[in-house]
């Protein structure tokens, strides 16, 4: 996902606000996060009137995309018996098998292609021969 710096900053401001308002739902970065209930964005939109400077439809969308795309969120989906939670941290429903399958394939390591190496030639090019000749002539 590529967004501009302004949108990113607004999403991070929303993250800070949600961590303050709903610490049982939105935990600091150092923990595995619990899966969010389906359609939690609708609950967040209800907060727009109270926090219009921080919350907009776009900032909610951007924040949720960052939040749910993290490896820690994905790891939370894969926990045995993982439950989706609401804003207050209350378990709402179990993670579906379909979501679990997606989580299991989402962060599989892709084999990296080896980086190409530069081959050096021992043959002198006309330019290197000319440079050598000039250097030799100037030093004599």
DSSP code string of 119-136: PPPSSPPHHHHHHHHHHH
Q: Which structural domain, as residue segments, surrounds residue 50?
A: 5-106
- Specify the DSSP element, H or E, that contains 95: none
Has residue 58 been placed in a domain? yes
Has residue 81 been placed in a domain? yes
Number of other CB atoms surrounding residue 7 within 10 Å: 16
Burial (Cβ within 10 Å: 0-12, 13-18, ≥19) of residue 10: buried
DSSP structural state of residue 36: B
Question: According to the model, what pLDDT value does residue 71 have?
Answer: 86
Has residue 111 been placed in a domain? no
Question: According to the model, what pLDDT value does residue 138 have?
Answer: 63
For residue 49, the domain's CATH number is 1.10.1710.10
Question: According to the model, what pLDDT value does residue 110 have?
Answer: 47
Has residue 133 been placed in a domain? no
Has residue 114 been placed in a domain? no
Has residue 125 been placed in a domain? no
Query: pTM for the whole thing?
Result: 0.70
Which segments in the chain show pLDDT lower than 70? 1-2, 29-30, 108-140
Question: According to the model, what pLDDT value does residue 109 have?
Answer: 52
Has residue 124 been placed in a domain? no
The count of structural domains within the chain is 1
């Amino acid at each position: 996902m590529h967004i501009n710096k302004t949108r990113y900053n607004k999403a991070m401001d929303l993250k800070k606000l949600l961590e303050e308002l709903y610490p049982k739902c939105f935990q600091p970065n150092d923990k595995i996060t619990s899966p969010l209930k389906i359609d939690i964005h609708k609950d967040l939109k209800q907060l727009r009137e109270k926090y219009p400077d921080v919350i907009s439809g776009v900032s909610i969308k951007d924040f949720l995309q960052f939040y749910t795309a993290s490896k820690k969120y994905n790891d939370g989906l894969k926990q045995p018996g993982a439950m989706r939670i609401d804003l207050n941290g209350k378990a709402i429903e179990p993670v579906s098998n379909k979501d679990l399958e997606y989580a299991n394939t989402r962060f599989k390591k892709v084999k990296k292609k080896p980086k190409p190496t530069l081959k050096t030639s021992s043959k002198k090019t006309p330019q290197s021969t000319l440079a050598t000749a000039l250097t030799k002539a100037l030093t004599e």
